[in-house]
Amino acid sequence: MIEAGSLIRSLSGRHAARNFHTFVINEIGRAIVGGEFPVGSVLASDAVMMETYGVSRTVLREAVKTLEAKGLVEACPKVGTRVSHKSRWNFFDSQVLAWHFYAPPDRRFYENLFEVRAALELPAVEGAARHRTAEHVRLMKYWLHQAATSGDSLEQFGLACLEVHSLIAESSQNTLLRAVVGVLELLLAVALTRRSDTVRAYCEATVAGLEKVILAIEAGKVDGARDALITCLDLDQKRILDGV
């Protein structure tokens, strides 16, 4: 697992200090999700990958074990490590989702993400309108203000919006609905890196939409919160799917 917000932070081009284990996981994971290592293909031998990534056998094997736990690869006796069929991939794993940011755009996959987001976040916003506390609302407004005053920093804007959505899920009092955060982060990263000439207008519309969501949550208006969130979903979906 990676920390929520890691993909958004990468938009600035700044990266954390290199950790060999994480580095190898990311390199192989991105290559699998991006199709460089196709489903059914066998990864190179340990010796080749150790030289390719400049790591020890121990680091490499630990990385492969992590990828196996995510469902991306499987050890095949007398064959080697094979890339698993997509049906075995853990798509709710935050790293697996994040790696799709670097893969070629796939309209059907994005459509699936929006279906999952709606299935999780609409019940979450309804729960938030019923169960929110004053502290939840205060924090939502704080992070919305951070988004609105982020200037040209897409990283700051994205992280602030992600916090708002995380608080919506948290205040629903249904911990399972927090599974939407990884999906949201990927969609937000894609939206923020599409069409740089219109990104500022998109950010402004997003802030306006989230403000309506928060005000409805604060007022305990379940239907109003749901309707306001649907407007936000439509905004994101149009931005991402147009032209894909």
User: Chain-wide mean pLDDT for the chain?
Assistant: 93
Give tens-digit pLDDT for 119-171.
999 999 999 999 999 999 999 999 999 999 999 999 999 999 999 999 999 99
> Predicted confidence band at 21 (pLDDT cuts at 50, 70, 90)?
confident
| SS3 state at 81 | strand
Model pLDDT, residue 2: 58
pLDDT at position 17 is 47
Q: Which runs of consecutive H residues, i.e. helices, occur in the chain?
A: 6-9, 20-33, 46-53, 57-69, 94-99, 107-131, 134-148, 154-171, 180-192, 199-218, 222-241
Residue 1 has pLDDT above 80, yes or no: no
For 205, residues 6+ apart whose C-beta sits below 8 A from its C-beta are: 235
| CB under 8 A, 24+ apart: contacts of 175-180 | 177/120, 177/121, 177/123, 177/124, 177/127, 179/92, 179/120, 180/116, 180/117, 180/120, 180/121, 180/124
Query: Can you give the residue ranges of every domain in the chain?
Result: 6-88, 105-241
Fold assignment, 6-88: Arc Repressor Mutant, subunit A (1.10.10)
| Share above pLDDT 90 across residues of the chain, in percent, rounded to a whole number | 84
Query: Residue 227: what pLDDT?
Result: 98
CATH assignment of 105-241?
A: 1.20.120.530
Same fold for the pair 6-88 and 105-241: no
Give the model's confidence band at 108: pLDDT under 50 very low, under 70 low, under 90 confident, else very high.
very high
Is a pLDDT exceeding 60 seen at residue 16? no
